[in-house]
């Protein structure tokens, strides 16, 4: 075997000796290089995103649109305990005049949802049910029954502006566009107690940062880490395909079938099948949503963080389509999940700058340090929230809380990393009745042999009328459901 050239071996030896002696701690050049590396990695994407976000333009509404509201079916899964509270949201959606609204709940709640649907005054509302509460299974109940070319999937707590429909449909003039998202805002609670207003603002800031990021990345390479499930429009041909429904119901995460993270799956499916996505960043297309307050908001943050860890790992390591299709998002969004721990990076940036300038003139050293300090806290912590502050200047009083929470959120991300097999909502009492169905073991060899024998015999593994929606492998029941989709309900 050919040995290393002597100069390489000597350099390696010297590097090891230097590290072992800890001499680098006193080397200003080392700290200078570290500061430069951290600064470039952390702030290049921010500065590029600032320019991209400010230059972002939504797709205009065409004079003769290919799709109108008559071409849209809205699908809403819900497990709400008090359906009457959904009336304002549902009425705002129906005001946009979709061709049909499909609601899916659980078997025990269907009678109550039926009663609400009959009072909404829309000629075409259908209500379906599944045996257990699981968003993926509920959505799969509806998708084969959609009869329009566009499907909008929405949460049950969103409020739409009456101007939404033409804006969300405009990007579909491009035949390569498979999914369209909207900008969002959180419903503010101006008269609530002070503590509730703080939590409410933290949720508003979270959504505002998300608006900033997804508009910026779409403007660069058309990518995003996740198309929000709060409201998203998709070509029905994508969602109703057998391959999509099979994958949607049986996504694998390590040795498990994952039935959480539904919006992440849809986003990755579009990327892996070469469909483009777009975001309409306009007031006329801005939906209003609600987030939890107090401890429940922290549960939401941990759930979102777990989804990001799982999905971004899948994108980077398992599927790997983003590397070539969305190179900027790969760096700016997917890698950021693993490197953007502000409570570690920010102090290290300031410390490395201070130690790197140890041999500078004291005045120049102080100037450099405080310039970085001001840039860090007066620009980088504020720029993504400019839209929020412009709408409500009084929100500036929450900025210190936002900065502190940003550091605390790093701990939430670490907690999420070590609890990836948790899929519970935690933030709503009706959300975890069937949590065990969100992460179930993959079928073993014996199960697969049994399934094969069943298929060979030509028998169904279970009856369509049983409404058994447990997470089993995609089988003849689903195909019968599709054939039966247009039967009177």
Of 180 and 434, more confident: 180
| Lowest-pLDDT choice from 10-19, 46-55, 352-361 | 10-19
Asked whether the beta carbons of 353 and 35 are under 8 A apart, the reply is yes
When computed from its CA atoms, the radius of gyration of the chain, rounded to whole angstroms, is: 26
CATH class of 56-337: alpha beta
CB-side exposure of 325: number of CA atoms within 13 Å? 21
Of 50 and 471, more confident: 50
Averaged pLDDT, 46-73: 97
| Portion of the chain with pLDDT greater than 70, in percent | 82
Residue 8's pLDDT band, with cuts at 50, 70 and 90, is low
- Per-residue pLDDT tens over the stretch 218-263: 999 999 989 999 999 999 999 999 999 999 998 888 878 888 889 9
User: Alpha helices, DSSP H only, in 143-189?
Assistant: 164-169
- Per-residue pLDDT tens over the stretch 418-464: 998 887 654 455 544 554 555 667 665 444 434 433 333 333 333 33
Q: Is the pLDDT of residue 148 over 70?
A: yes
Q: What is the pTM of this model?
A: 0.84
Q: What are the residue ranges spanned by the domains of the chain?
A: 56-337, 442-483
Of 268 and 455, more confident: 268
Predicted pLDDT at 433: 56
* 3-state DSSP percent of the chain in helix, strand and coil, to 5: 60, 10, 30
Asked whether the beta carbons of 352 and 359 are under 8 A apart, the reply is no
- Per-residue pLDDT tens over the stretch 91-139: 999 999 999 999 999 999 999 999 999 999 888 999 999 998 889 999 9
Q: Is the pLDDT of residue 483 over 60?
A: no
Predicted pLDDT at 464: 36
């Amino acid at each position: 075997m050919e040995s290393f050239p002597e100069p390489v071996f000597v350099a390696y030896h010297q590097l090891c000796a230097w590290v072992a002696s800890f001499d680098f701690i006193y080397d200003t050049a080392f700290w200078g290089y570290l500061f430069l590396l951290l600064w470039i990695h952390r702030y290049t994407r921010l500065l590029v995103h600032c320019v991209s976000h400010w230059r972002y333009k939504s797709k205009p509404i065409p004079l003769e649109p290919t799709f109108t509201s008559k071409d849209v079916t809205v699908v809403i899964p819900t497990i709400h305990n008090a359906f009457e509270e959904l009336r304002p949201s549902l009425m705002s959606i129906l005001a946009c005049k979709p061709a049909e609204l499909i609601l899916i709940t659980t078997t025990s709640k269907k009678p109550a949802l039926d009663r609400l649907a009959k009072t909404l005054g829309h000629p075409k509302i259908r209500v379906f049910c599944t045996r257990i509460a699981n968003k993926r299974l509920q959505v799969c109940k509806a998708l084969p029954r959609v009869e329009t070319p566009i499907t909008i999937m929405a949460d049950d707590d969103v409020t739409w502006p009456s101007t939404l429909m033409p804006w969300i449909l405009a990007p579909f003039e491009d035949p390569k566009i498979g999914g369209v998202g909207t900008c969002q805002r959180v419903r503010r609670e101006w008269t609530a107690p002070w503590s509730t207003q703080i939590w409410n603002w933290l949720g508003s800031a979270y959504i505002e940062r998300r608006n900033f990021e997804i508009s910026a990345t779409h403007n660069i390479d058309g990518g995003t880490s996740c198309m929000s499930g709060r409201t998203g429009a998709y070509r029905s041909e994508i969602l109703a395909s057998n391959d999509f429904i099979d994958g949607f119901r049986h996504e694998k995460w390590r040795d498990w079938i994952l039935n959480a993270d539904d919006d992440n799956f849809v986003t990755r499916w579009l990327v892996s099948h070469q469909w483009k996505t777009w975001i309409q960043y306009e007031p006329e297309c801005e939906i209003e949503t609600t987030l939890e307050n107090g401890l429940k908001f922290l549960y939401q943050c941990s759930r979102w963080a777990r989804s990001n860890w799982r999905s971004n790992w899948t994108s980077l390591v398992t599927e790997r389509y983003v590397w070539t299709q969305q190179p900027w998002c790969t760096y700016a969004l997917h890698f950021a999940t693993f490197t953007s721990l502000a409570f570690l990076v920010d102090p290290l940036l300031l410390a490395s700058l201070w130690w790197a300038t140890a041999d500078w003139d004291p005045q120049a050293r102080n100037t450099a340090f405080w310039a970085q300090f001001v840039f860090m806290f007066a620009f980088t912590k504020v720029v993504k929230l400019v839209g929020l502050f412009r709408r409500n200047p009084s929100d500036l009083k929450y900025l210190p809380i936002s900065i502190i929470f940003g550091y605390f959120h790093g701990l939430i991300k670490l907690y999420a990393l070590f609890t990836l097999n948790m899929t519970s909502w935690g933030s709503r009492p009706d959300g975890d009745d069937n949590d065990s169905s969100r992460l179930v073991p993959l079928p073993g060899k014996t199960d697969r042999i049994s399934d094969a024998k069943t298929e060979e015999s030509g028998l169904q593994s279970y009856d369509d009328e049983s409404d058994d929606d447990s997470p089993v492998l995609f089988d003849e029941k689903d195909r019968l459901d599709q054939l039966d989709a247009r039967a009177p309900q």
